[in-house]
Amino acid sequence: MSDDSVIKAENLVKWFPVRTGFMSSFFTRRELFVKAVDGISFDVNRGKIFGLAGESGSGKTTTGRLILKLVEPTSGKITFKGKDITDFSETEMKPLRSKMQIVFQDPYESLNPRMTITDILSEPLQVQRIGSEMEIKEKVKKILEDIQLVPPEEFLQRYPHELSGGQRQRVATGRAFVLSPEFVVADEPVSMQDVSIRADILDLMISLVEKYNSSFLYITHDLALARHVCDMMGIMYLGKIMEKGVTEKIVYEPLHPYTHALISAVPVPDPTMKRSDVVIKGEIPSPVNPPSGCRFHTRCPIAQFPVCKEKEPPLTEHGNGHLAACHMIDTAIWKKHLST
């Protein structure tokens, strides 16, 4: 692990048991699991933004919750600043909560409608017993200025329903950063916002990451936004990381067919711009019974049998820390497909 690494996940796994009816369980006698996260590894360095991208159902949100231990991992290891926190109890985690925060996707659901903005922003400080009453008031005003809700006095006694969607998300972001955290998970923080204000919210988050020198796990399905936000990125599919590396490399020199397909789906204003023609069809398979071998082979345009169906490709490096899990990389089949 590098000295700059704040969070490290090693072979992280989360399987959720599936509840079945009596007759079904009687006849099958086999316990079923949703394999939401199935053996992934990555680390997030200090002051850097690591993105997790992929379709809905790929396991991104579960990964974020695992890292913060909002859900317990089935197996694997979670390290925070060199300390193994995998088996920490909630009591042991409490002092770390001020250093590890989350911005949820939906500010309409994550903000208590019965609490004023003052109450919402001061609650984390009160729970962690940080500062006197006067100091807490000053911190609340300061964070309101940081999230650009000014003058602060106009927002202190408002309730969430009195704010716009963008202002709500700013408050949700401020609640995470009021504790000056060292690590923040942002779970698709702008997906509920109008296109016109998404850039403003993301610029705000980037500025807060820089100001507080925090590490950031940015979860998204939008590669166009991730390209502007993330330093490093992992592409997830059905509980696995298919590709990982520097964002610029992944976006402009993708290796995995799945990454090519995601990029080809991003709208571009220039119709003459050359784009990848890799297209995936159908829906993501069930995580209860994922495909054997390469999990993407059932939708992959260049899958070869039996290797892709029977053998799971390892996540291997292809130069400069750019990793991908695909049997077909650098083969004549893949090169021919790219050239057509």
pLDDT tens-place string over residues 57-81 = 899 999 999 999 999 999 999 999 9
The answer to whether residue 105 sits within a structural domain is no
Tell me the CA distances in angstroms from 33 to 30, 237, 295, one per residue in order: 10, 17, 16
The pLDDT score that the predictor gives to residue 315 is 94
Whether the per-residue pLDDT at 26 is higher than 50: the answer is: yes
Tell me the CA distances in angstroms from 40 to 36, 91, 117, one per residue in order: 11, 27, 38
List pLDDT tens digits, range 182-234.
Answer: 999 999 988 877 777 888 888 999 999 999 999 999 999 888 888 888 999 99
The answer to whether residue 335 sits within a structural domain is no
The SS3 call for residue 263 is helix
The answer to whether residue 330 sits within a structural domain is no
Q: What is the overall mean pLDDT for the chain?
A: 89
- Positive or negative, the CA dihedral 261, 263, 267, 271 is negative
Percent of the chain with pLDDT over 70: 91
Task: Give the CB-side neighbour count of residue 20, counting CA atoms within 13 A.
Answer: 16
The answer to whether residue 293 sits within a structural domain is no
The answer to whether residue 133 sits within a structural domain is no
As for how many domains the chain has, the answer is 1
How many whole angstroms separate alpha carbon 275 and alpha carbon 22? 51
The answer to whether residue 300 sits within a structural domain is no
Average pLDDT in the 160-177 region?
94
What are the residues whose beta carbons fall under 8 Å from the beta carbon of 116, sequence distance 6 or more?
156, 157, 158, 159
Question: What confidence tier does 1 reach under pLDDT thresholds 50, 70, 90?
Answer: very low
Expressed as residue numbers, the domain containing 93 is 5-99+179-261
Whether the per-residue pLDDT at 339 is higher than 70: the answer is: no
The answer to whether residue 211 sits within a structural domain is yes
The answer to whether residue 71 sits within a structural domain is yes
CATH code assigned at 223: 3.40.50.300
